[in-house]
Amino acid sequence: MKTLYLVRHAKAGWHDPAMADFDRMLTKRGHKQAEEMSELLRKKKITPELLISSPASRAIETAEIFADTLSIEREQIMQKIEIYEGQVGALVAIVQTLPDEYGTAMLFGHNPVISAFVDWLTGKPAGDMNTCGIAKIDLEIPHWKETATGCGTLDWYRYPEKE
Q: Residues with catalytic annotation?
A: 9, 85
What are the C-alpha distances in Å from 102 to residues 139, 157, 159? 13, 22, 25
Q: Is 58 annotated as belonging to a binding site?
A: yes
* Bridge partners, 51 (sequence order): 77, 106
Using alpha carbons, select from 20, 23, 22, 27 the residue that is nearest to residue 10.
Answer: 27
CA trace torsion 80, 59, 90, 129 (10° rounding): 160
| CA gap 39, 50 in Å, rounded | 17
What residue numbers does the annotated binding site for substrate cover? 58
What residue numbers does the annotated binding site cover? 58
